Amino acid sequence: MRDLSSILPLSVDAVSFHGGGRMLIEDLSFAVPAGGLTVLLGPNGAGKSLTLRLCHGLLTPKEGRIAWAAGAQGRARRHAMVFQKPIMLRRSVVANIEHALAAAGISGRERRERSAAALARFGLSEHAAQAARLLSGGEQQRLAIARAWALRPELLFLDEPTSQLDPAATRQIEDLLAGLVAEGITILMSTHDLGQARRLASRVLFLHRGRLIADAPAADFFAGPASPEARAFLAGELIW
């Protein structure tokens, strides 16, 4: 998994993004070093999903710079993203994984080996021939993460991966994510679930109105954030 030079740290430097005639992300700066799970927290509309899409390269900042340690080649090969609603192709479970690997230029034999390993790692082997779109919501999200894992990313972006799942499926995904971090995969994940953030995060980035309000180790953040907006959010108050 570590056969290429590291793409980390990821540096986000004074990034701004406009949409619909207004500023959605403003002067955003932080770095993602190797290791751990960093959670993006904040109310709806804070800019969490936009931040992930900007980091992943799906959107281009209007101002500022996003840079990777290994440059463009590393950026193309070493990170993956899983969305809030899993994107399933109209094909079997195993074919969903193989298609992603083929698109990444992985050859036939290695593609089959990686797909089988991903199915086994995420408990989906018995569903290999099943149509992916017939899986349950939790199984589809596991497949989406398995597909990303098969690409052997160094950094994984997750956009509220359990927001549409029941508690049992959520806990299963959380256990899998903890396992990925233990494997050495760095995770940057948005969530609105404070309990989940407390369970998983090693670090918290708190966004409000497109600006970074707090950047702290998770233990420090939850013990008492410095900003009034973050304190109100943790208290369950509505902030706009």
SS in 3 state form for 113-146?
A: HHHHHHHHHCCCHHHCCCEHHHCCHHHHHHHHHH
Q: How confident is the model at residue 52 (pLDDT cuts 50, 70, 90)?
A: very high
pTM confidence score: 0.93
Q: Is residue 105 part of a domain?
A: no
Q: Is residue 187 part of a domain?
A: yes
Query: Mean pLDDT score of the chain, rounded to an integer?
Result: 93
Segments forming the whole domain that contains residue 209: 31-87+137-234
- Supply the pLDDT for residue 99: 96
How many domains is the chain built from? 1
Q: How confident is the model at residue 2 (pLDDT cuts 50, 70, 90)?
A: very low
Helix (H, G, I), strand (E, B) or coil at 209: coil
- Judged by average pLDDT, the poorest of 37-41, 42-46, 177-181 is 42-46
Among residues of the chain, what percentage have pLDDT more than 70? 94
- Supply the pLDDT for residue 1: 42
Q: Is residue 193 part of a domain?
A: yes
- Supply the pLDDT for residue 77: 63
- Supply the pLDDT for residue 226: 86
Mean pLDDT of 60-73: 85
Residue 182 belongs to a domain with what CATH number? 3.40.50.300
Mean pLDDT of 225-236: 90
Mean pLDDT of 166-186: 96
- Supply the pLDDT for residue 240: 62
- Supply the pLDDT for residue 236: 85
Who wins on pLDDT, 20 or 95? 95
Q: Is residue 208 part of a domain?
A: yes
Q: Do 27 and 193 touch, CB atoms closer than 8 A?
A: no
Q: Is residue 22 part of a domain?
A: no
Q: How confident is the model at residue 21 (pLDDT cuts 50, 70, 90)?
A: confident
Q: How far apart are CA 236 and CA 233, in angstroms?
A: 5
Mean pLDDT of 220-237: 90
Q: How far apart are CA 100 and CA 114, in angstroms?
A: 11
Q: Is residue 205 part of a domain?
A: yes
